[in-house]
Amino acid sequence: MSYEKVKQAKQLVIGTKQSKKAIERQRALLVVLAQDADLMVTYPIQVICEENHVAYTYVSSMKELGKASGIQVGTAVVAILKD
């Protein structure tokens, strides 16, 4: 289901650094994290989401998350932005 949300999102940012910025600037509506990504990458983003009261969810595959985001490689983190 979250893959569909990513595909249908009007605005999103891909990757850890850009997602972190969006969360801290209160621009992120939902953050999607890949379960098969390294915890050293995803856990700090999860903590930042909790600190900033931003919803987050997990999906199973980095490859599928990248594909849903419209890129050719996998990604660990995607943030769907507020309109």
Mean pLDDT value across the chain: 95
Residue 28 tokens read as 């992120």
Summarize pLDDT for 48-77 with one digit per residue, the tens.
999 999 999 999 999 999 999 999 999 999
Residue pair 57/28 in contact (Cβ under 8 Å)? The answer is no
pTM score, two decimals? 0.94
In whole angstroms, give the CA distance from residue 8 to residue 60.
18
